[in-house]
Chains A and B, each alone.
Chain A
Amino acid sequence: MYSEKVMEHFHNPRNVGEIEDADGIGNVGNPRCGDIMKMYLKIEDDTIVDVKFKTFGCGSAIASSSMATELIKGKTIDEAMNITNKAVAGALDGLPPIKMHCSILAEQAIKSALLDYSQKSGVHIDGLEDFDPTDDPHDHH
């Protein structure tokens, strides 16, 4: 059902944990649907120098979180803003159709953490104007 890449990231997820003095924290999903992602960012000079995540969810939710952190670590805020759910799913060699919402959740987790950073620091981030972190990814099927 899952690609080898998904299984590999599920069994050896990168960047699991919390960042105590995080500059931005994103929290998306809800326990009713069976998936929650929490993402912590450490940002210096417009660059994501560290990222950690915690996820409650299925194999693809954990793998998507792990892949998302890999894709944004060391990247600028603009670069991170351009990471789409398709990029996350693609980097995992694809997800089953019914699991695509996991990659959407990962994209939302990144944006939600950046939004938190923007609000706390006052730094404007292009592209977050219309972002709604409570948007339900399950509606995107």
Chain B
Amino acid sequence: MKKLIYMDNAATTPTRQEVLDDMLPYFNIQYGNPSSVYSLGSRSRTAVEKSREIIGNMINAGEREIFFTAGGTEADNWAVRGVAYANKDKGNHIITSKVEHQGIIHTCEYLEKQGFAVTYLDVDEYGIVDLEQLEESITDETILISIMFANNEIGTVQPIKEIGEIAKERNIYFHTDAVQAIGNIRIDVDELNIDMLSMAAHKFHGPKGIGALYIRRGVKIDPLIIGGGQERNRRAGTENVPGIVGMGKAIELAYENLDEKNEKLIQLRERLIKGIFDNIDHVRLNGHPTKRLPGNVNICFEFIEGESLLLSLDMEGIAGSSGSACTSGTLEPSHVLLSIGLPHEIAHGSLRLSLGDNNTAEEVDYVVEKLVGIVSRLRAMSPLYEQFKGGN
């Protein structure tokens, strides 16, 4: 078995050993329910609240503004639905974008069936939302703007500060899905005028199944789960104590030496992009060249299909992902790639390699070398490539 080269850190990341070490006692030694009065319980409560404080501090929020969820999608669902239902007497209009995660888009579509109106903002060729269109779309009925911080597929970072200013000026709640950004970009919710923010621990070397929604004090939002009063009556259910402890540790580690880590990641990213562009023709970089996540590479290889690329990479021990129809579980390629204007046949040939702290320059070079062979093999099989060469 070859050593695995893992370049799918936008899908998930390995839990760091230090994080796991901190979590383990909370399964079978310090297992008390945080709501119990005896010391075994109150020690769990202390651990939960310490983690909440750490997470709050990382984004310049108060600990009473952090609400734990089971992950990023849950936080996204809650923010959009919770604000929509709690503010429907004020208006029924929500503004989001065409490149959001399914956790937002499908929730908005669900709300449309409930009588809400949703504007899905266009994006430019890099995937950046149109701020003019945002301003024009706002009506007296608008109750929420939800725009992701950074895109999960193409890595493009949105002009969050500008969006926050527009939202504040017009007195509209602003939610951002920061699942891909947290741990990679420093975020100050006050400076950016963010009212709600979604995060998921497993994207920054924490465990799966735990996330959080930051809700600014004063935001009117319906509770997500009703029950025993946990999370200040907004998200009931016994706390996932090990997960919460792990999330706190993971976010702390993620922001330690962030600039240094990002500098290294950007170097690797540029090395990978350059390697591909220097060695393979008919490729295009998706997303913004500089306003992008430090570890994100998303490239379309013309004339071939993404899933066969992934299967071939897997044979070489390389893990990546694609926005082709065959990997989305539907027959349409990624909505993000179509929204930035790619034709279907090119969108089918996309490859996302998302780098993390564990990747090395040697791995990047190995991947480029393997890609050259794989792309050439698949193109030799492709009638589209044959047609293209015939046409030249």
Contact = CB atoms under 8 A, between A and B. Distances in A.
Given A13-B381, A33-B331, A57 B305 contact: yes
B124 interface: no
Contacts of A99: 326
Nearest to A29: B383
Contacts of A10: 308, 311
Interface in A43-57: 54-57
Contact of B384 (A36, A60, A98): A36
Interface residues of B, number: 25
B141 to A, nearest CB: 37
A55 B381 contact: yes
B311 A31 contact: no
B381 A31 contact: no
Given A10-B308, A59-B311, A98-B329, A31 B386 contact: no
A31 B380 contact: no
A139 to B, nearest CB: 10
B305 A54 contact: no
Which of B304, B385, B386 lies at the interface centre, i.e. has the most chain A CB atoms within 10 A of its CB? Answer: B386
A33 B307 CA distance: 13
Contacts of B311: 2, 7, 10, 59
A40 B307 CA distance: 25
Contact of A55 (B307, B331, B333, B383): B383
B303 interface: yes
A18 B308 contact: no
A54 B386 contact: yes
B307 A59 contact: yes
A120 interface: no
A58 B326 contact: yes
A36 B348 contact: no
A41 to B, nearest CB: 15
A55 B324 CA distance: 16
A138 interface: yes
A67 interface: no
Interface residues of A, number: 28
Interface string B304-334: 1111100110010000000011100101010
Which of B304, B305, B312, B384 lies at the interface centre, i.e. has the most chain A CB atoms within 10 A of its CB? Answer: B305
A31 B308 contact: no
Given A11-B315, A27-B383, A58 B345 contact: no
A13 B382 CA distance: 13
A34 B308 contact: no
Contacts of A35: 305
B344 interface: yes
A55 B333 CA distance: 18
A16 interface: yes
Interface of B: 303-308, 311-312, 315, 324-326, 329, 331, 333, 344-345, 348, 380-386
Interface of A: 2, 7, 10-11, 13, 16, 18, 27, 31-38, 54-62, 98-99, 138
Listed from nearest, the 10 A-B pairs whose CB atoms lie closest are: A31-B345, A58-B326, A58-B307, A34-B348, A38-B383, A32-B344, A54-B383, A56-B382, A59-B311, A34-B325
